[in-house]
Amino acid sequence: MELYLDSANLREIEEGFKLGFLDGLTTTPTFMQREGITDVDSTIVKLSKMVPVLQIEALGDKAEEVVKEAERLLGLGLDPQKTVFKIPVALEGVRACNLLRKKGLLVNVHLVYTLQQAYMAMHAGATYVCPLVGRLQDQGHDALGLVEQCVNAVDHYGYNTKIMFSSVRNSEHVRNALNIGVHTITIPLKVLKGLTENHFTTVGTQQFLRDTRLILEECEGVFDGQIEHVGNRQAAEANLERFPVVPAAFAHVAGHVHIGEEMHLDLDETVTLARFAPAPFHIE
């Protein structure tokens, strides 16, 4: 499932795409107005250089006007293979979709609220069809049922169209999208950042960190600044293996100690070991 960020906030966009694996950005004139953006064209050009794929609005009352606007935007220097033109569903909109697709351009027919609208967009060749789940649920409709019907139509009839799950309000919507099998989802940064969060994960991580500190304190008390005389190999192994952090690694240390030699394990090396990564052990 493709993962898009839904935003026009430059700070959010920079933060989101630092992850390195987002597939693209969707934005709207409404988002830009909320951010106080006045020079839309320069903002679009800037965004196109920040993201792998940019989905932007191409508006017009007639199909020819939509096509002309898309061509004007491409004239700003946008890459036609990395730019998707968003068109609200309507008779002129799906006609514009068909004209743009014949030119080899990418189209997202959005503001879809019914299966019939989605069907017209699919049949016109839309690259993406975009139901607005949150908005539809706000009206008391079965938005998830609509999305599932759209996915089934694509699969059943073989349309070369991706269903985009949009108007995402929470992480549950992301789970819904995955269960339904949609092809693409676009989500706000706030929701995106919450997808890796879970109370039990936090508790478990804190426990691991706490236990690691306890282990380091115990190791520090035995090894840091202390020299142990090793009388025999069995005694060395028994002494080292009583620590719970990777006993085999401690036994490896003992295995390189010669009888009668003095040994110490630096605390820094113990820290590396406690993080469960291989570390070189220097025996003296």
Known active-site residue 46 = no
Structure tokens at 166: 């949009």
**H or E segment at 86?**
strand 83-88
Alpha helices, DSSP H, located in the chain: 10-17, 29-34, 40-48, 63-74, 91-102, 115-123, 133-138, 143-157, 171-180, 189-194, 199-223, 233-241, 247-255, 267-274
Interatomic CA distance for residues 263 and 81, integer angstroms:
63
Residue 217 vs residues 126, 223, 252, 282: alpha-carbon distances, Å: 62, 10, 21, 20
Structure tokens at 184: 């693409």
Of 192, 179, 138, 238, residue with least CA distance to 5: 192
Q: Which of 62, 68, 82, 86 is catalytic?
A: 86
Phi first, then psi: give them for residue 208, nearest 5 degrees: -60, -45
- Tell me which residues are annotated as active site: 86
